[in-house]
Each structure stands twice: as C-alpha cells, then as structure tokens.
Amino acid sequence: MRRGKVNFAGICIEVSLDYIPEAGVGDYVLVHVGFALTLVDEREAKEVSEALRPFDELQNELQRMLRTPSARSNADLDEKTAAQR
C-alpha cells in the first residue's frame, strides 16, 4: 500500500495514495477517510482552504470559551439541570 503525509491547516496525517499513484510531493489531493481520492489544482485547493477558514476560527473561539471559568460553570449547570429532568 502506497502511503503519503498530507498537511491541512497544520494538521499532518498519513493517507493512502493507492487511488492516485501519480501523486507526488507538493501535489494537492482530496482526502476522505484516510484515502487520497483525486489530485486538486492549487487554485482550487486555496479556494477551499479560504472557504473553510471561518469554521476553523469558530472552533478556536469555542475552545477559548470552554477554557474560561464562567463557560465551564455554565456547562456544569446545564449538565446538572439536564440530570434533574
């Protein structure tokens, strides 16, 4: 099985390259469940990356909120309230 490492927004994972044996270092690929499925041109890869950036920013903001004491207290209250129902 041919394998390669891909980097998406700083996250590196190993994927199977069996479906696109022509893929090489520096190529952009579409990955699903650990399999590189097709080559993607650089323009399209950058467009997708830009389109997904707001979701990354939202996730980072939610993680910051969950680290604050007031956010944890509110989450604890919600769990206790749900448990009482």
Residue 55 has pLDDT above 80, yes or no: yes
Contact residues for 74 (Cβ-Cβ < 8 A; gap 6+): none
Q: What is the CA radius of gyration of the chain?
A: 19
Contact residues for 76 (Cβ-Cβ < 8 A; gap 6+): none
pLDDT, tens digit, for every residue of 19-48? 999 999 999 999 999 999 999 999 999 998
**Residue 60's pLDDT band (cuts 50, 70, 90):** confident
Residue 79 is encoded by which pair of tokens?
């769990």
Architecture of domain 1-40: Roll (2.30)
Whole-number pLDDT of residue 79? 63
Share of the chain above pLDDT 70, in %: 80
Delimit the domains of the chain by residue range. 1-40, 42-85
